[in-house]
Chain A
């Protein structure tokens, strides 16, 4: 099993350009997430999808859109990139809660994005 995969690994954009970050998981998980990680800020949730066909905003959704294409794939789109979107983007997935109510998330390797 590959777990969670993300493409691309690195990307440089100019302000105003658009791009889509791809994420796929092969663990048959229902829930998928997109985070961004900035120095000193920790991981912040952009969007999540509790199940196929549903998406919801997280803490920092402005400037982003998502698509849950099927159970395996969850993409993140930047329609008009801004320098403030320079960050490392992580996709994650998780299964239903375990009996203690915890929810382990499994992360992809990340996409490093630089917006000039």
Chain B
């Protein structure tokens, strides 16, 4: 079983739609959680950290459910520029690997 699992998609949504991505992690010792964004043939970049109380950054909302070991990302009012792959990332406490990446969910926003 992968340590961080995501639905690979692709998700194809029209502009203005609301879309949600989910991610599950297997290690209950996981301590920090993130969403990274990766554009086609580019490097990953931090989109937002995910905090226990949930957090929002403009059109993006991240939620964490530690009991279910589940992380979500909600994008409201999708823009063409949101088209990318979204990577769920977990920092496992005490892990020498520092960050563990999911394989990503691909989003295409259609005009």
**How many residues from B make CB contacts under 8 Å with A?**
24
B54: Cβ under 8 A from any A Cβ? no
A-contact 0/1 string along B79-105, CB 8 Å cutoff: 000000001000101001111011110
User: A-B contact count, CB below 8 Å?
Assistant: 59
Among the listed B2, B44, B49, which residue makes an inter-chain contact with A100, where contact means beta carbons less than 8 Å apart?
A: B49
**By the criterion CB–CB under 8 Å, are B97 and A59 in contact?**
yes
A42 and B99 in contact, given A100-B49, A107-B44 (Cβ under 8 angstroms): no
- 26 A–B pairs (Cβ distance < 8 Å), ordered by A: A40-B8, A42-B87, A43-B44, A45-B98, A45-B99, A48-B98, A58-B97, A59-B97, A90-B43, A90-B44, A94-B98, A100-B32, A100-B49, A101-B31, A101-B93, A102-B49, A102-B91, A103-B91, A103-B99, A104-B34, A104-B46, A105-B46, A105-B99, A107-B44, A109-B42, A110-B42
